[in-house]
Amino acid sequence: MAKQASNNKITTSSTAEYFSKNLQQVGFSSQTKAVLTTLKEAVDNALDACEEHGILPEVSVVIQKVGSGSLKNSDQVRIRVEDNGPGIATEDVPKVFGEYLASSKFGRGRCSRGQQGIGISAATTWAQLTSAVGAKVISRTQSMRKALSCTVEVDIKNNKGILKEKEMIDWDRPHGTSVEFLVDGRIQLNGEAGLLNYLNGTTLVNPHLKLHYQVPEMEKQTIDRVSQDIPAVPEAVEPHPHTMKLGEFIAHSHLFGRVKVEGWLKKGFSRIHEGVLTDLVKSGLPRSLLDKQVDSLKEAEFKQLFVAIQNEKLMAPSTKSVLSIGEESMAKSIKRLGAVDFFAVVSRKPTICDFKPVQIEVAVARLEDKHIESESSVQVLRFANRVPLQFDKSACAIVHAIESVNWRSYGITQPKNSLPQGPYIIAVSVVSPFIKFKNASKETIDGSDELVEEIRRALIQAGQKLSKHIRREVKANELEEKIRHIEQFGPILVQGLCRITEAPEARKKRAEEGLLKLLGRDAHVTQQELEDAHAKLEAHLKTTDLTEANI
């Protein structure tokens, strides 16, 4: 055995090496996905950076077909994303674009879009692998006199970024970053996985974003911001002990150096205070353990402490760390999606699902463009921490929640156990510092029953709000139908009766007048019902004010 082992030499590989061989795991599994993922990573970074520094983001996106690519059936595509963010200091540029797992956000328990620091480096790797050119970066911080222009490549063997063609240039803006990738891929504009869907979705959940974009076969577009408020990204809260595993628990202690266990527990975790410690001692934890220094604890003692805390009943984690878009902003933002008949938005209060804080926000809108086939499913926009999710819809918790709602009771058609149908958009945003994704490319949310139920509740509220609009419409249709009925059937009925009874013309005329009077009374009742429905809706709109509007 020993001899065999010595023949098969065990080697270690760098993180970059791993990801460069497994780019499909992080969103580069097809040519169309490669373009979308590259764009997505660049935009995510731009928005995160702006929010972090309190800047209202203005982002320009350019996507062009340059020529044919080196891969079979592919095009060479240029993707450029420019922002007015804080810019990146020269020494950080290679880390940001060329090093895996170099992140300012990793494990901080904040609701930022990016989390681990994989995405943009993967985009650089893809560009490097398919076009043999890295990311072209121009960046300028407030303190720089000139902007840095360079190309970043990933040193795959050592997981390091390398700066090439570095020069300082004049740039017409005080601060910001521009990054350009030349990648092999294919541009897909329309459809659920299309670029336009991504751009629309991003504007929907980022009301404060001003976006310019230029994509093939379309004029240059500008979408103005509808909110001047930069979302205040809540500060991270200390981790809740019940969301940790023993290893994490021990690793967490290393951050604190030489402090007493008692102090570490109180400072380093949320929901642990004096009362909890007293209870721990009461239920059998030796007091002496709490008085020891953290760095002197043995593994067995850590375990004893960890188990005791796990068995203790603690308050659920705080929901302060989640970030909401807000009903008002969402209401304004939804109008940017196109011509909308009416809509409803619901912002649930932050809550705890699976011991993690989470907030669900939902917008349901009926599009004016009714040419969309009424038998096709509604358009579903899914967001996790304000990033659109565009793939593998059927496995997602959001879709499960939508399917579980009985939309028929709100006047929307829905085949059994499937998505509702018609010209509607259902947008669901899940915000949480700890979203459980099914894969590293963050395409689907893994749903626990608790999370699905929370999303379902939000959808039901939105459905109820929406049904007021739909009901009014149904009433209007009914009235129209009834009036049509009278006009159509009245004369036929009278004529038939007159033929059978051989009645003279004068009787016929009198009967026709009488019938119209009768049916007119019915129509009047319906008209009244319609007006009531209308008034109810108006009253409802007044109470909900801006959050919902009949456009």
Partner 1 sequence: MPTTEQNIPKISKELCNRLLQDLERAKRPVLYATKCSLDNSIYNHKVGYLTPGSKKVATELNVSSVKKMSRAIFMLEILLRNIDTGAVNTKRELYYISKGYIKHDSTMKPLDFADQNESDEIIDFICEMLECYREEVNCYANDRGGQTYSQQLVVTETLPDGDQAVVDLSKLGTTPFQPKNRPQNLSLSARKKIDFCLIVESEGTANTLVANGFTKRHNCILMGAQGVPSNAVRGWCKLIQDQLRVPLYFFGDLDAYTMQNIYRTLKAGSAASLIRNSDYSAPDVRFLGVLPEDIKKYDLNDYPVKENDAQEVRALKKATDALKNDPFFQDKKNKGLAQILRWLLENKRRCEQQAYFTVDPRDVTMPEKIIVEKIRRGDYV
CB nearer to partner 1: pick between 62 and 497: 497
Name every residue whose Cβ is closer than 8 Å to that of residue 378 and which is 6 or more positions away in sequence: 412, 419, 420, 421, 422, 423, 424, 425, 426
- Could you tell me the smallest distance in angstroms from the CB atom of residue 504 to partner 1? 11
Nearest to 318 by CA among 280, 347, 261, 359: 359
Number of amino acids touching partner 1 (CB under 8 A)? 30
Which residue bears the tokens 């009903």? 327
CB nearer to partner 1: pick between 16 and 494: 494
Q: How far is CA 95 from CA 42, 152, 191, 496, in A?
A: 15, 9, 35, 88
- Could you tell me the smallest distance in angstroms from the CB atom of residue 389 to partner 1? 44
Name every residue whose Cβ is closer than 8 Å to that of residue 238 and which is 6 or more positions away in sequence: 109, 267, 268, 269, 270
According to DSSP, residue 406 is labeled: -
- Could you tell me the smallest distance in angstroms from the CB atom of residue 509 to partner 1? 9
Which residue bears the tokens 């009742």? 525
Q: Which stretch binds partner 1 (CB under 8 A): 46-54, 277-285, 368-376, 484-492?
A: 484-492
- Could you tell me the smallest distance in angstroms from the CB atom of residue 493 to partner 1? 4
Q: Is 76 helix (H, G, I), strand (E, B) or coil?
A: strand
**Interface pattern 521-550 for partner 1 (x via CB under 8 A):** -xx--x------------------------
CB nearer to partner 1: pick between 166 and 485: 485
Q: Does 369 bind partner 1 (CB under 8 A)?
A: no
CB nearer to partner 1: pick between 21 and 510: 510
Strand ranges (E), 296-384? 340-347, 351-353, 356-367, 379-384
The Cα 183–Cα 120 span in angstroms is 13
**Interface pattern 486-525 for partner 1 (x via CB under 8 A):** x-xxxxxxx-xxxxxx-x---x--xxxxxx-xxx--xx--
The Cα 456–Cα 443 span in angstroms is 20
Return the residue of 267, 485, 534, 536 that touches partner 1, per CB under 8 A. 485
**Binders of partner 1 among 69-108, rule CB under 8 A?**
none
CB 358 within 8 A of CB 347: no
CB nearer to partner 1: pick between 411 and 491: 491
CB nearer to partner 1: pick between 300 and 500: 500
The Cα 24–Cα 186 span in angstroms is 16
CB nearer to partner 1: pick between 521 and 542: 521
The dihedrals phi and psi of 375, each to the nearest 5 degrees, come to -95, -5
CB nearer to partner 1: pick between 367 and 511: 511
- Could you tell me the smallest distance in angstroms from the CB atom of residue 471 to partner 1? 19
Strands 160-169 and 147-155: antiparallel
**Binders of partner 1 among 391-430, rule CB under 8 A?**
none
CB nearer to partner 1: pick between 157 and 507: 507
Sign of CA dihedral 32, 35, 40, 43: negative
- Could you tell me the smallest distance in angstroms from the CB atom of residue 496 to partner 1? 4
**H helical segments located in 418-504:** 449-501
Locate 211 and state its tokens: 């976006």
Q: Is 19 helix (H, G, I), strand (E, B) or coil?
A: helix
- Could you tell me the smallest distance in angstroms from the CB atom of residue 515 to partner 1? 5
Q: Which residues of 210-221 are buried (b: 16+ CB within 10 A; e: fewer)?
A: bbebebeeeeee
**Interface pattern 135-174 for partner 1 (x via CB under 8 A):** ----------------------------------------
CB nearer to partner 1: pick between 418 and 488: 488
Nearest to 196 by CA among 226, 225, 218: 218
Name every residue whose Cβ is closer than 8 Å to that of residue 128 and which is 6 or more positions away in sequence: 134, 153, 154
Which residue bears the tokens 């705080």? 318
Instruction: Categorise residue 550: left if φ over 0, alpha if ψ from -120 to 50, beta otherwise.
Output: beta
- Could you tell me the smallest distance in angstroms from the CB atom of residue 505 to partner 1? 13
- Could you tell me the smallest distance in angstroms from the CB atom of residue 185 to partner 1? 52
**Binders of partner 1 among 31-70, rule CB under 8 A?**
none
- Could you tell me the smallest distance in angstroms from the CB atom of residue 370 to partner 1? 24
Locate 400 and state its tokens: 């499960």
**Interface pattern 453-482 for partner 1 (x via CB under 8 A):** -----------------------------x
CB nearer to partner 1: pick between 157 and 524: 524
- Could you tell me the smallest distance in angstroms from the CB atom of residue 410 to partner 1? 24
CB 211 within 8 A of CB 341: no
Nearest to 462 by CA among 418, 513, 504, 410: 410
- Could you tell me the smallest distance in angstroms from the CB atom of residue 533 to partner 1? 17
- Could you tell me the smallest distance in angstroms from the CB atom of residue 477 to partner 1? 14
CB nearer to partner 1: pick between 247 and 514: 514
Locate 28 and state its tokens: 């580069």
CB nearer to partner 1: pick between 166 and 507: 507
CB 419 within 8 A of CB 380: yes
- Could you tell me the smallest distance in angstroms from the CB atom of residue 530 to partner 1? 14
CB nearer to partner 1: pick between 223 and 503: 503
For the chain, what percentages of helix, strand and coil (3-state, to nearest 5) are there?
Answer: 45, 20, 35
- Chain residues in the site for partner 1 (CB under 8 A): 482, 485-486, 488-494, 496-501, 503, 507, 510-515, 517-519, 522-523, 526
